[in-house]
Structure 1
Amino acid sequence: MMAGSGEHFKALVRSHGSGDDDAFYSVALQVAAQAARRGHHNLATDLKAAVDNSRVERPQKVTSIAQPRGDLSDLVIASHPVVGLKELVLPDDLATQVRRILNEQRQRKQLLDYGFEPAHRILFEGPPGTGKTMTAAVLAQELSLPLMTIRLDSLMSKFMGETASKLRVIFEAVTDQRGVYLFDEFDALGGDRSGNDVGEARRILNSFLVFLENSSAESLVVAATNHRSILDKALFRRFDMVLNYSLPDTQQAAAVMRGRLGSLAKGVRWMSLEDEMFGLSHADLVRAAESAAKSAILAGSPGVTLDDIRDALMSRQAASLGR
């Protein structure tokens, strides 16, 4: 005869599906207790031992990606990035700010014990392709948290009530499920617009500001924008930190390309490519590196040549002028 009731088994499935280990173990121990009451002592002992062993084997809990459900499933795309801090090429001052965010999050309990919240409302601003989205992915990976990217196309509605209710769903998830919540291309929501929709835009923005102001420190809320100039000034004081991104200089550009090419780039004189790299974003440089690598591989070469890289960079320069 089965020791656990139907309700117990349903609770086990629900807690497993949501990634809630504590709830899962609690229900498992309830099943073990019920088994003991029914005289199934061996089963009860085995269940309790399995729970104890599992807890010992998994001392560090890594947040699993519980796929968004219900209303949230239409508003958020969940992922678990694999890109780490070592792969993020940023100016020293910006890299220091990113490490500060990570340090505060890793010691969040100590800060909270003293009545201080870790930085958890972050704004990234700067030109396209300069590493804003990648930084959000790095924060998620380094903190073993899911990256929850907000789908602004699903969030925005011509009806204020609908947008506000959707924002409420997202910020409730910020409290309930620890993660990095990314509002990419945030200017679509936070822009200081003019025209016939200014009243509606203002109400949506005010609603966001209220939710942001009261957002839980359990998660990080990250907003990224390419257009700082159009953002409402009321936004900036609501964020704990504002990180300003810019196009890479020559050394950073070379580091980006070296990181993507790896061993294929041995012996490349990067400083001779300064003019070709100038003005390109991180994303442009990565694509140029990938193009040069494919040219070398298809030609059967053990590595990329200076001409491979120069041709790829000039192609990206032409493409950027056409944007």
Structure 2
Amino acid sequence: MAGLGEQITAMVRSHASGDDSTFYSVALQVAAKEAKRGHHVLAGDIKKAVDASRAQPPLRNVTSLDRPRGDLAELVEASEPDVRLSDLVLPRELHDQVVQVLAEQRQRRVLLDHGFAPAHRLLLEGPPGTGKTMTASVLATELSLPMYTVRLDGLLSKFMGETAGKLRTVFDAVARHRAVYLFDEFDALGADRSGNDVGEARRILNSFLVFLEDASPESLVLAATNHRSILDKALFRRFDAVLAYSLPDARQATAVMRARLGTLAQGTSMAKLGALTEGLSHAELVKAAESAAKAVLMRGKTRVERDDVVNALTTRRAASLG
């Protein structure tokens, strides 16, 4: 009975954390044990249930989105993303970092029970359009959490003199409501400043760092910036991990476009397009793919040709790179 009790506990924990692979693995262990005991019908039923559940598309478990109220409604934008990890095209090392964050969050109860906090304070830095906001959306989707976006430059300009108090309101929500909290345009707060506003900026930054230090590990706090070089160096050690984004290489660029085109690109050659994709961000590549797709569909066709891709990339480069 002790072994079965441990297995049931493990199943409950994995179910609560959204870790389907562990849940199914433990269920199959229970089935194997029952088969050894001669309970073949029960073992078969468990295996069938596991197989049937695995065959189902993943369901999101987010309940009705908790819309911000009062002061919080002025500070954050609420959303319920639907972007899977498989949609995210990143270099292997960066992809592995995202997977590790997901794994620690799914096992957060085990970690917390042993005195360890899961990674929950992340700094995302890199050029615009390279996947920072998409990563936040993926974390929210995969963990079945709502996402709240705080645009810091707007917060600073709208509530100058009240910013520290408004930040406290957001971090109070971090403690009360498990979610992904994205502080966008973080360089508006974290810039290494000089001049007349240095005193006020330093007070705001210090307040943020205090709140970040005490942030609940039940939520994820993400700060996104396009300008790592202007950030105060003291910031980096305050985060559990720094995720560095860059423009995609030729292989990643092709993967981004194919992902957006879907079945429209089946059988279409996209080899040796590096000269056309170089310097374009993930977001710009998606726009190019959408342009090619719309041109094809409006012609009444159902397959994108290589020339369609080349034309769309050429136009995008002209618009983006001048």
* TM-score, normalized by the shorter chain, greater than 0.5: yes
- Secondary structure of the structure 2 residue equivalent to 1:156: helix
Which residue in 2 is equivalent to 1:163?
Answer: 163
Deviation of 1:207 after TM superposition, in Å, equals 0.9
Which residue in 1 is equivalent to 2:266?
Answer: 266
Which residue in 2 is equivalent to 1:64?
Answer: 64
Is 1:303 matched with 2:303? yes
- Give the letter for the 1:298 counterpart: M
Task: Within 5 Å, give how 1:69-218 maps onto structure 2.
Answer: 69-157=69-157, 161-218=161-218
CA offset digits 1:199-230 (Å, max 9, x no partner): 21111111111111111111000001110000
- Secondary structure of the structure 2 residue equivalent to 1:271: coil
Instruction: Give the structure-2-normalised TM-score.
Output: 0.79
- Secondary structure of the structure 1 residue equivalent to 2:162: helix
Q: Is the 8 A contact 1:257 1:286 kept in 2?
A: yes
- Give the letter for the 2:169 counterpart: V
Deviation of 1:151 after TM superposition, in Å, equals 3.2
Task: Within 5 Å, give how 1:208-247 maps onto structure 2.
Answer: 208-247=208-247
Q: Is the 8 A contact 1:247 1:281 kept in 2?
A: yes
Unaligned runs of 5+ in 2: 1-59
Judged with a 3 Å threshold, the aligned counterparts in structure 2 of structure 1 residues 154 and 321 are, in CA distance, closer, same or farther, namely closer
CA offset digits 1:251-292 (Å, max 9, x no partner): 111110000001111222212322111111100100000000
- Give the letter for the 1:320 counterpart: S
Larger deviation, residues 255-264 vs 145-154: 145-154
Decide which structure has the larger Cα Rg and report it.
Answer: 1
Q: Is the 8 A contact 1:160 1:203 kept in 2?
A: no
Unaligned runs of 5+ in 1: 1-59
CA offset digits 1:129-174 (Å, max 9, x no partner): 0000000000000000001001325521587651110000000000
Which residue in 2 is equivalent to 1:29?
Answer: none
Q: Is the 8 A contact 1:64 1:146 kept in 2?
A: no
Q: For the residues of structure 1 that align with 2:231 and 2:87, how far apart are their CA atoms?
A: 30
How many residues are treated as equivalent by the alignment?
263
Judged with a 3 Å threshold, the aligned counterparts in structure 2 of structure 1 residues 157 and 164 are, in CA distance, closer, same or farther, namely farther
- Give the letter for the 2:125 counterpart: E
Instruction: Give the structure-1-normalised TM-score.
Output: 0.79
Q: For the residues of structure 2 that align with 1:167 and 1:161, how far apart are their CA atoms?
A: 12
- Residue identity (%): 68
Q: Is the 8 A contact 2:247 2:279 kept in 1?
A: yes
Q: Is the 8 A contact 2:153 2:189 kept in 1?
A: no
Q: For the residues of structure 1 that align with 2:63 and 2:241, how far apart are their CA atoms?
A: 24
Deviation of 1:191 after TM superposition, in Å, equals 0.9
- Give the letter for the 1:239 counterpart: F
RMSD across aligned positions (CA): 1.5
Q: Is the 8 A contact 2:280 2:317 kept in 1?
A: yes
